[in-house]
């Protein structure tokens, strides 16, 4: 199985809430995750997104850096609402996930950099970027956030790219994603490079299968 990501760059935000808290020292708004503990989600509800996660993990697009910090996450819209199920914080390094590793984001507020999640695990600190995609495009039903330095460098500026000033875990990133998703070319290509989040790429689609196709199409471009 190929491992595409050769970067050992430290990702100081991905899936680790404490890192986002540290960003306060630099003047960024703290990510505020209101976590309502609940039992594990049923596997039938996460089977599709979990299968996609397995593939992305196998490709090295979700995983863990040498320093133990995980990266990458997947989500799927829950019904016709803007609620969504997402892999939990600090799960990037786990080879296999189950219902214990997913939660449901039931409410969010970009201005407050806040969300409420329900489940057995805290939502990824990258959840608001997923939320931005769901909120801005009704036919987006699945999102994958992957890391790959070579892909990121190759695609930077060639596909819709968020501002380098919009760092991950900030309302600015969420708003920039919304700005781009509302554009026609992004809806066609279904991919955004996260300019202020090195290695970070967001792929989305009308379903899990389309997201997988988008990511595999990107790999062919490396």
Q: Which of 3, 5, 1, 2 is nearest to 153 (CA)?
A: 5
Start-to-end C-alpha separation, the chain: 16
| DSSP characters over 57-80 | HHTTSSEE-TTS-EE-EEEEE-TT
- At closest approach, how far in Å is the CB of 37 from Zn ion? 25
- At closest approach, how far in Å is the CB of 44 from Zn ion? 28
Return the residues of window 3-22 that contact Zn ion according to CB under 5 A.
14
- At closest approach, how far in Å is the CB of 199 from Zn ion? 7
Cβ-closest position to Zn ion:
14
> Of 69 and 121, which has the nearer Cβ to Zn ion?
69
- What are the strands of the beta sheet with 32-37, ordered from one edge? 32-37, 114-119, 102-109, 84-87, 73-77, 142-147, 200-205, 191-193
- Select from 60, 92, 171, 200 the one that contacts Zn ion (CB under 5 A): 200
Listed in sequence order, the residues at least 6 apart from 63 whose beta carbon sits closer than 8 Å to its beta carbon are: 5, 57, 70, 71, 72, 92, 93, 147
Q: Which stretch binds Zn ion (CB under 5 A): 23-31, 110-118, 132-140, 200-208?
A: 200-208
Count of CA atoms in the C-beta half-sphere (13 A) of 193: 20
How many residues bind to Zn ion according to rule CB under 5 A? 2
> Of 71 and 108, which has the nearer Cβ to Zn ion?
71
- At closest approach, how far in Å is the CB of 14 from Zn ion? 4
Return the residues of window 35-54 that contact Zn ion according to CB under 5 A.
none
- At closest approach, how far in Å is the CB of 28 from Zn ion? 15
> Of 9 and 42, which has the nearer Cβ to Zn ion?
9
Which residues here bind Zn ion, judged by CB under 5 A? Answer: 14, 200
């Amino acid at each position: 199985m190929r491992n595409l990501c050769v970067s050992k760059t430290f990702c100081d935000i991905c899936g680790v809430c404490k890192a986002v808290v540290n960003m306060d020292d630099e003047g960024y708004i703290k990510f505020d995750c209101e976590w309502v503990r609940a039992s594990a989600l049923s596997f039938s509800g996460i089977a599709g997104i979990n299968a996609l996660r397995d593939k992305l993990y196998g490709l090295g697009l979700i995983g863990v850096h040498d320093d133990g910090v995980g990266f990458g996450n997947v989500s799927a819209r829950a019904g016709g609402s803007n609620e969504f199920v997402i892999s939990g914080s600090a799960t990037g390094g786990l080879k296999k996930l189950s219902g214990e590793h997913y939660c449901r984001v039931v409410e969010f507020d970009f201005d407050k950099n806040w969300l409420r999640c329900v489940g057995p695990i805290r939502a990824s600190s990258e959840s608001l970027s997923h939320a931005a995609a769901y909120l801005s495009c009704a036919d987006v039903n699945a999102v994958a956030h992957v890391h790959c330095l070579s892909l990121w460098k190759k695609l930077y500026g060639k596909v819709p790219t968020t501002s380098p000033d919009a760092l991950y875990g900030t309302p600015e990133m969420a708003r920039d994603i919304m700005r781009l998703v509302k554009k026609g070319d992004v809806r066609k290509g279904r991919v955004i490079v996260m300019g202020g989040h090195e290695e970070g790429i967001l792929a989305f689609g009308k379903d899990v299968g389309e997201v997988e196709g988008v990511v595999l199409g990107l790999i062919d471009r490396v």
